[in-house]
Every structure is written in structure tokens, then in C-alpha cells.
Amino acid sequence: MEKINDRLLNWASILEDTTREQALRTAEMPFIYPHLALMPDAHLGKGATVGSVIPTEGAIIPAAVGVDIGCGMMAVRTRFTAADLVGRDLSVLHGQIARSIPLSAGRYNKSVRATAEPRVAELRGMPGVKQADGAVPHWPIQLGSLGSGNHFIEVSLDEDDRVWLFLHSGSRGVGNKLASIHIRRAQEWCRAQGIALADRDLAYLEEGTPEFDAYIEALRWAQRFAYLNREEMMDRVVDQTGRFLGAPVERAEVINCHHNYSELETHYGREVWLSRKGAISARSGQWGLIPGSMGTASYVVVGRGNEESLMSSPHGAGRNFSRSAARKRFTRKDLDGRMAGIAWGHSDAFLDEHPDAYKPIDRVMEDAADLVEIRHTLRQVVNVKGD
């Protein structure tokens, strides 16, 4: 761990100057307590750095949570093993999953499926649903859809050749819209108060104001949507895997965790709003998931409860190159080589998800050695993504 100053601690051994400068600007906000923690996967983000843990007293920065509120991962360990996959065409399973779950930005279900009905009913009963209805009236058909970018669904094998089902997604279009509305309201509120900001995306809301209360209501609703969205997709992945293998999937272990969210937590003896933007909670004994990139390892971990990190850890590999830079830098031939032996989408659209567009996941995990303990190492055999 590197102590950059009293308000910024850093666990990233790979850190661009622009990312460090952005984190320093955020750490200088007057309501940060006790300090900002920069995770090993840190990279430049909107307003606040992706891969940062931001504790705030009496205020919250909507852009420090991000636009994909509640984004996170879910994994299920099954009782199947690699032997159950031998002789089977995994591209068939890839197709089954891709047909069962809407992929890509703007792709949703045609109607609310039976499995989603109780989840939609729960969301309809929560405070915040009026905001969701106003922002995206068709949000119920978004439940159970993946999205694009670095979101994925994978079938993987662990170190003992056991089959895991793993996915990564968030609150979809409705969460993005709610976040964008409140980021804009925070900017308007700061302007109205005459507050000067080093970056307009560091605009914040003060606790006790109607604007703050409205954001927290929307935040909690979207976080729950994201959690249920992963559950709904996992039900479909489980169903399709069982159909493919000709036997029901038994869930031996289940983990579901956010990495873009904010919660009230107590650190260093004081209650703060802890915003993890590209970071997971890693309290002592707490299970978590840290995916790599396409074609690389992912990890099932247990938190060490590191106090200085605000009991947090990285959420993935973290980008090394922007999407536009990756598309110019990497070739389809190289991507094909890196994905050898994996059933995937075979599309030029995934060049910006090339493994080398991200930090080496092994390096990230080395940097996180005092934050989490690795329990399982996963290697994907099926990778499903939206373009």
C-alpha cells in the first residue's frame, strides 16, 4: 500500500498519472473521512476514479457511485465437473444462453417472464418505484437482461475442475437513467449554492435536503433492481445449463455482490456514506467475486477486513486502454488466439474487450493480497457477451 497523502491511500502498482490526479481531486473534497482508498484496478472514470472507495460524511457524490448503480457479479458453483462437459459442443450451450437472455444495449425481454414476476412485484412495492416509472416506464422488461461492454455470462471451471456459472451486470437502462438524473440535479444544486468544483462531476448533495433524500431513494431501488436482475439471469443460465447437460443444476455455493453502490457504514468510529465505485466489500470472512477479462482468470475470494482499505477490494482487472484505443491496437486474429478453447461470440465487436485492454489480473490480485484471500481460481469455457 502506498500512502499518497493523509487523505489518499493507494493499492494500485499500475496507476496512470491522470488517474492519480483524479483521485487526488476527489480526496480533497471537504467531507471525505477518513481517507479515499484506491484499489489495485483503479483507472480514470467520470468524476471519481473507477476502483475507488469514497467515504463521505453528511454528503454524497452521485457520480462517485456511477451510472450503472448496483452493478456487480453473481456466481453459482454446481455439482457438475469438467468430466460432464467432455464430448459436448459448448457452442450449443453458448447459443442456448444467448437466446434465453437479451444481450447488448437496448435489448430487453418482450414481456415480463413468470420467474421475474415476483421480483418485479417486490420492486413495485419499494420506495423509489415512482422515480423509476417516471424515468423508464418499461423497466419491468429490462429485468433479466445483460447489457454490453464488460458485462458477461460465463461457464467456468475451478482448480478442482468443478463447473461454475458466473455473470456480471447491473441496473440496466433504468439505473443509468436514474443516475444521470441525479448527477444532473447535484450539479444544479451545487450551482444554486454557489459551490465551486474542481470537476463538475464531483457535484454532491447534502444530507438533510430533499434532493439528497430523493437520490438515496432512487439509489436503493436501483441497487435492488441490479441484485434481482442478476438473480433472474442466473435462474435462466441454471435452467439452460441443466437442459444442456440433461440433469438439474444443484447450487452448491451462491455469491451475489455489488461493486457500484453506496451504503451507510461505520469506519474509524464514525458513520459515513461509503461509495464503492468499482470495488467490492471485503469484510473479514465475506465472500466476493473478482472477474478478469475475456480469456483470463476470475477469482472467488474471501475478505480480510483490512481497515485501511475501508474493508474493500478490487472488482476486476481495470482498463489499461480505452475502448477506442483498444479497437485500434488489437487485431481479431490475436483475439481469436487468446480465446482458443472457449465458446464465445466470434465477433469484431469484442475487440475493445481484448484481455490486454485490461490490467493483468494476476498483478491486480498480487496488489490485493492484504485485502482478500483467493479461494477459487476460475477459467472460462463459455463466454457470452452483448456487442
Q: Return the active site residues.
A: 315
Three cell numbers at 55? 467515504
CA-based nearest residue to 375, from 255, 268, 273: 255
Give the type of residue at 328.
K
Give the whole-angstrom CA distance, residue 245 versus residue 380: 17
